[in-house]
Amino acid sequence: MPRYKIKEGSLIRYRYIPKFKKKLLIYDKEPLTIVLELKPDGFYGINLHYLDDTTHKNILDQKITVKDILKSPKILQFIHRYLYSHIQSAVFEYKGDSKKLTRGVFVRK
């Protein structure tokens, strides 16, 4: 059982180190993720930092729902698998004011 209390549909932020970071050209160290599906060792989610500003804002303003995300090929490509064992911080859930959210912290090689 993971030590994080993460729920499907929640918007969370955390510090993350990808399992295969050496193979990635770029990754986000602090993803802002909508949790789509929970698994025993992690979850599937979409990192809003990878989306264009308009789509990012529409999701936060609830103009786009999770159902809309799952229907959009443009957005589906940004769904990732996250492992609990690679989360390096507390997990913060956002409830409310999206104006307090910031963009990602990307690492490039």
pLDDT confidence of residue 89: 92
CB contact at 8 A, 86 and 16: yes
Is 90 contained in some domain? yes
Tell me how far the alpha carbon of residue 35 is from its chain's centroid.
7
Residue-level pLDDT at 1: 44
Question: Which residues form the domain of 59?
Answer: 11-95
Any alpha helices (H) in 1-109, and if so which ranges?
A: 53-60, 66-71, 73-76
Overall number of domains in the chain: 1
- 47 assigned to some structural domain: yes
Q: Please indicate, yes or no, if residue 17 is contained in any of the structural domains.
A: yes
Q: Is residue 1 part of a domain?
A: no
The pLDDT value given to residue 21: 85
CB contact at 8 A, 35 and 12: yes
Q: What is the mean pLDDT of each run of 10 residues along the chain (109 residues)?
A: 76 90 85 91 90 79 75 83 93 70 49
Assess if residue 6 is contained within a domain: no
Q: Determine the Cα–Cα distance for residues 28 and 105; give it in Å rounded to an integer.
A: 5
- Do the domain assignments include residue 27? yes
Q: Does residue 106 lie within any of the structural domains? A: no
